[in-house]
Structure 1
Amino acid sequence: MMKKFLIIIFFYAQLMLLCSCEKMIEIGLPRNELTEEKVFGDSISANAALIGIYAKIQGGLSFLSGSMTIYPGMSADEIVQQGNNENTQFQQNMLIVDNGTIDVLWTSAYAQIYSLNACIEGLEKSTGLSVSLRSRLTAEALCLRSLLYFYLINLYGPVPLVLTTDYGANRILPRSSEAVIYDKIIEDLRQAKTILPGASASNVRADRNFASALLARVFLFTDRYQQAADEATALIESGVFKLAETPEKVFDGGSRELISVFSSIYPGRATWEGYTFVPSSLSSVPAYIITGSLLAAFEEKDLRKQQWIRMNEIQGVKYAYPFKYQTRDLNSGARAEHYAVLRLAEQYLIRAEADLKLGNMGQVFEDLDLIRKRAGLSVLKREISGEELLLEIEKQKRLEFFCEWGHRWFDLKRTGRVDAVMSGQKPEWSSDAALYPIPRTQIERNSFLTQNKGY
């Protein structure tokens, strides 16, 4: 039902809201007060405006949908693409400032942030909405903006922290540190948690669990281990979510493992990954091929390798490709699948790492064993060292979340292991490649922006 509603309302919401929300980095149009009054004058229009932003974020190959799997996946050691085009710069870790994809990622992310800022401001000024509805829609917008900023800083490092629609101020903003942006993300998610319901009617929209799951991740990324463990534990013990019985069932329509999902609004496609990763036929070379290093990291009996990876053999050459999402095209016989944004398995691994840092060893083994047993693997020996446990967490995170939302790329950078791992696989590796370049077009538009080292 939500999927159909998103499709129907998408164009209406865009027409109403986006006429005053052009790409903030590129253009600054004056706010249209009449349009703002119409959009946020009643509950139906206000809901439509926010759902329109959801549709932008979730539709096609946007900044978040699909892109955060494919490009960090190539930058890390997960997948490679056949051919020679701009995408090869990602897998070679040799991006240039004029790379068109880098520019599109940046501008689309900030366009979505601008739309969310316009929504937040419109809700604040509205006199036609109840306080409770205004608060709930604002909290959802804060969650979405937090998600966008999390991925921006993990791609580019420090970025401008744009919190208003004031074009004059925004066009000269310098880059804010990652610490400042993380603090803002935490502030907004904490605020959202106090407002949003514990579970939404559909986990397509942000709810309290979305805020808590993202908070747990952010706390881990900022070395706030007790808070990370507490947030993860609250979700694990809530009774709302449950690990799927097997890897194959994780993304099923009825899976209780999924804390947050994106709805498909692109005609004929269930997920961007399914459409792109799954070849059109058994005789087709996959568009993206799993690396030998990732394949070698799996034990043969690992159910994740058996159920989440497929092979096409063409002229004697075997090509492995991701098969987490099995549905390439929507048709009458297509498997019902959800596009996972946040899932419970991550919370177990967050808690395991946080507890290891805190010295709570018993819980570390328990959480890791749950993930391993679901994959058909044996439990860990209790004699292994803390350093070995940390590497085991890294490995299980890699195998559990390969080709999902850039987890591998971000974890290697977060833990300081990116140089050691990447230099062993990519001879031309440079430490500067851990951050993407700020697009040349943005540097030219805003003289207060500085470029990342090495570009």
Structure 2
Amino acid sequence: MKNSINQYINLLCLPVLLLLGACEPFVEVDVPNDRITSETVFSDDATAREAMDGVYIQLFNTAFAAGGNQSVSFLGGLSADTYTVTNAVPEMEAFAAHQPEATNSLNLALWSGAYNTIYMCNAILEGVTDNSSLSPETRAALEGESRFIRAFTYFYLTNLYGEVPLITQTDYTVNALKARSPQTEVYALILEDLNGAVELLQSGYSDNERTRANRFTAMGLLARVHLYLGDWEQAEAYSSEVLAATDLYELPNDLNTVFLANSPEALWQVSPEGWGGTFTHTRDGNLLIRISASGSPVSLSEGLLENYEVDDLRQQVWIDSFSSTAETYYYPYKYRIRYDASGGAYTEYSMLMRLGEQYLIRAEARTQQGKLEVAVTDLNAIRERAGLEPLVYTSAFTQEQLLEEVMQQRYHELFSEWGHRWLDLKRTGQALEVLGGLQETDLLYPIPEAELLKNPNLTQNAGY
């Protein structure tokens, strides 16, 4: 099964490899006895499903999503006040100093990994469209999942780079010359894809595995997108839909269980099955857990560590430390397994979206609408799970105070996850003040020089 899935990945990605110079590593497999064609992949429900499985597996490997040192989570954490670089790695230090060059290889890997993912989604969408060989149920599921993943990927591309090329088909001779599109057009596609996904996807999870997108996963991202766009009513409405699905989701009282495989808090996770061998650990855990003075390239920043309230369980449970003779290093401990080559069961999955964020989205959206009392209720769900005293609403509360509380809780709840802190500081206009020493031009990453050289229609962000 794994080999056949990887064959489908390679088929879906061949043109994009030609376009991007093969900058993403792909799993090597033996050449199949008979050539796999797109017609073969989408000739029946089973093989089409395996192709979609391959996309999910590849999310664990592709740089932007994997959780390693080229991912949104890691590079976004460097850009924000989450990490301090502790080992001299110049390309990482450049992100921490908000001075990545257009030639930075980490930046190129992030960009190209995202576009590899988009290309695979486009290949699935083209393969299932008007395909009478597939059942209506399979066509709907694969279209909905592909639209969701494409929207998820474009969300990060446009928030990290601003205007980006909109690639919506697989003709790489056309794609290679695409110019950048305004953010309004990128967000229009994101909303179109997510609204389509909500209509197409089922509400449950197949096989009780939370590794495929469902209707509520798409709604959760819609809530986030509308929050970023300042559409507070829609952000509240979609997050409320997710939070009302109590038969599927809940906040576990025990913080130790949040990042386990198929956690009831998970809206969407990715399995370490993508390693393709006997490894069962996540890339996040492998990168961030420190077992020696040089065992990880970063430590959690003093600003984050000093910012917690007394008795906050998140500081006690989700942060650990390693002490050398010279220094103590603090690291995220949301994932507990640094390395496991036993080939046993996968006990931790990489978390892409979870319920805690939905409470914070709704709290912020309600605060922006002046619904302060119910916003406090949402904040208290997060505070009480963290072992903190609940806020007691009074008429003395101001909108500004509650928005500050939302930002604090987002910082403490979502640190080291998917660049939330970096994007929060940017979207709320606080990045220049909080981080200090930045210019407006530092708020976007550079378009990779390798892409500019290949595509004469691409332009660079200001300041690079």
Under a length normalisation based on structure 2, what TM-score does the superposition of the two structures give? 0.90
The match for 1:275 among 283, 286, 290 is 286
Q: Note the C-alpha offset of 1:335.
A: 8.4
What residue in structure 2 maps to residue 18 of structure 1? 13
| Pairing 1:341–2:352 present | yes
CA contact (8 A) 1:25 1:107 kept: yes
| Pairing 1:242–2:237 present | no
Distance across 2 between alignment mates of 1:419 and 1:284: 31
Distance across 1 between alignment mates of 2:168 and 2:407: 34
What residue in structure 2 maps to residue 449 of structure 1? 458
| Pairing 1:409–2:422 present | yes
Distance across 2 between alignment mates of 1:405 and 1:15: 26
What residue in structure 2 maps to residue 195 of structure 1? 200
Q: Note the C-alpha offset of 1:443.
A: 1.4
Distance across 2 between alignment mates of 1:376 and 1:251: 18
What residue in structure 2 maps to residue 73 of structure 1? 77
Secondary structure of the residue that 1:390 maps to in structure 2?
helix
Unaligned runs of 5+ residues in structure 2 are: 23-34
Give the direction of change, closer, same or farther, for the CA distance of 1:56–1:274 in structure 2 (3 Å limit). Answer: same
The 5-angstrom pairing of residues 140-179 of structure 1 reads: 140-179=145-184
Residue 207 of structure 1 aligns to which amino acid in structure 2? N
What residue in structure 1 maps to residue 334 of structure 2? 324
The match for 1:231 among 212, 233, 238 is 238
Secondary structure of the residue that 2:299 maps to in structure 1?
strand
CA contact (8 A) 1:326 1:335 kept: no
Aligned length: 439
The match for 1:307 among 311, 317, 326 is 317
The match for 1:122 among 127, 130, 133 is 127
- Per-residue Cα deviation, 1:173-224 (whole angstroms, up to 9, x for no partner): 2111122111111111111111111012221011111111111100101111
What residue in structure 2 maps to residue 213 of structure 1? 220
CA contact (8 A) 1:192 1:208 kept: yes
The 5-angstrom pairing of residues 346-425 of structure 1 reads: 346-382=357-393, 383-423=396-436
Secondary structure of the residue that 1:438 maps to in structure 2?
coil
Residue 38 of structure 1 aligns to which amino acid in structure 2? T
Q: Note the C-alpha offset of 1:450.
A: 1.4
The match for 1:47 among 43, 46, 49 is 49
Distance across 2 between alignment mates of 1:170 and 1:438: 16
- Per-residue Cα deviation, 1:103-138 (whole angstroms, up to 9, x for no partner): 121122112211211121111153311222112111
CA contact (8 A) 2:271 2:349 kept: yes
Residue 324 of structure 1 aligns to which amino acid in structure 2? K
- Per-residue Cα deviation, 1:16-67 (whole angstroms, up to 9, x for no partner): 433455354559xxxxx981111111112111111112111122x6211211
Q: Note the C-alpha offset of 1:344.
A: 0.5
Give the direction of change, closer, same or farther, for the CA distance of 1:23–1:204 in structure 2 (3 Å limit). Answer: farther
Q: Note the C-alpha offset of 1:324.
A: 0.6
Give the direction of change, closer, same or farther, for the CA distance of 1:20–1:286 in structure 2 (3 Å limit). Answer: closer
- Per-residue Cα deviation, 1:355-395 (whole angstroms, up to 9, x for no partner): 01111111101001111111111122433321111111001
What residue in structure 2 maps to residue 57 of structure 1? 59
- Once the two structures are overlaid, the 10-residue window that deviates more, 44-53 or 138-147, is 44-53
- Once the two structures are overlaid, the 10-residue window that deviates more, 322-331 or 377-386, is 377-386
Distance across 2 between alignment mates of 1:23 and 1:384: 57
Distance across 1 between alignment mates of 2:454 and 2:7: 31
RMSD: 2.0
Distance across 1 between alignment mates of 2:434 and 2:104: 25
CA contact (8 A) 1:284 1:312 kept: no
- Per-residue Cα deviation, 1:113-171 (whole angstroms, up to 9, x for no partner): 11211121111153311222112111111111111101111111110011011233322
Give the direction of change, closer, same or farther, for the CA distance of 1:23–1:344 in structure 2 (3 Å limit). Answer: farther
Distance across 1 between alignment mates of 2:440 and 2:359: 30
Residue 82 of structure 2 aligns to which amino acid in structure 1? E
Give the direction of change, closer, same or farther, for the CA distance of 1:100–1:253 in structure 2 (3 Å limit). Answer: closer
Give the direction of change, closer, same or farther, for the CA distance of 1:167–1:252 in structure 2 (3 Å limit). Answer: closer
What residue in structure 2 maps to residue 30 of structure 1? none
CA contact (8 A) 2:288 2:331 kept: yes
